[in-house]
Amino acid sequence: MKILTPIFFFLLVCSIQQIKAQQEKSEISSKIESNFIEGQLTLKATASNQTTAYRELNYLFVSIKKSKSGNLSNNKQSGKFTLKPDETKTLSQMSVNIQKNDALKVFLFIKEEETDKPVSKDSLEINANMFKDKITNINENEIFELKGITIDQTKTKAGKDFYDLFYLEYSKLPQKISSVITIDETPTMGRGSQISIGLEDRTLYSFIANPSEDYLSEQATLSVKIILDYNRKKSLIRNEFRY
């Protein structure tokens, strides 16, 4: 990992200090904590219960990054949690590789589990003027329905090429799925690597990486098909048990 020059580090620290954070005053408070070390921005979502009542809640923690070349990458984490009276809890943590000309928006939303009513939110921005209006003006209702999120965790050129081909194929779909898709790459024996397609903490498909564009294109098409088939079967099961 490259060590940042003192000037770049100073500029980024200044940018973080000037982040526009919005937080609603509520009996439940939310906070995004950030820590920047050697090109990695670590983000931590926390929540505090300032009441004497036990609370059951949902959270959504989302980062949207735009590189200087214009590529968008997203990370979305969500789940249910509880807070005891006067308790503060860390909900989630994520790391974002950020360079000098990258833009970043991070959102943390908390809702009541029973009523789905928003109770608290926080946000963080770096170089937000690089985003289009629809991302700049995003609200909690839109972001809770955010679909089509893919996470690139590839490491080699073949892995990056596959991700680009996969994203191109996936972006053609008229309707994106609501679950986060993760493209991961792990080393194998020798100099090879294995690419895995994950959904909802489950690996749906994996294959050995190959630099051939035709091969990667075939794998991208097959991966999208497998994801759609899995999502269709999951929807059928959900409908079967709906009363």
> Quick check: 1 pLDDT over 80?
no
Q: Could you give the angle at the alpha carbon of 152 between the alpha carbons of 148 and 154, nearest 5°?
A: 150
Report for 43-52, 58-67, 169-178, 234-243: range of highest mean pLDDT: 43-52
Average pLDDT, the chain: 79
Comparing 235 with 208, which gets the higher pLDDT? 208
SS3 of 1, please? coil
Crossing angle of helices 213-240 and 157-171, rounded to 10°: 50
Q: Is residue 73 part of a domain?
A: yes
196-222 tens-digit pLDDT: 998 867 899 999 999 999 999 999 999
Comparing 197 with 180, which gets the higher pLDDT? 197
> Quick check: 136 pLDDT over 50?
no
- 101 and 160, same domain (yes or no): no
Q: How far apart are CA 222 and CA 14, in angstroms?
A: 45
Instruction: Identify the CATH number of the domain in which residue 86 sits.
Output: 2.60.40.2420
Lowest mean pLDDT among 12-16, 22-26, 171-175: 22-26
pLDDT of residue 195: 96
- 124 and 164, same domain (yes or no): no
The parent domain of residue 120 ranges over 6-146
What would the mean pLDDT of 130-134 be, rounded to a whole number?
51
- 119 and 159, same domain (yes or no): no
Of 113, 146, 179, which closes a domain?
A: 146
Q: Which pLDDT band holds residue 29 (cuts at 50, 70, 90)?
A: very high
User: Which residue pairs, CB below 8 angstroms and at least 24 apart, start in 223-231?
Assistant: 223/166, 223/169, 223/197, 224/166, 224/169, 224/170, 224/173, 226/197, 227/170, 227/177, 227/181, 227/197, 227/199, 228/173, 228/177, 230/199, 230/204, 231/177, 231/179, 231/199
- 226 and 167, same domain (yes or no): yes
62-80 tens-digit pLDDT: 888 877 776 777 777 888 9
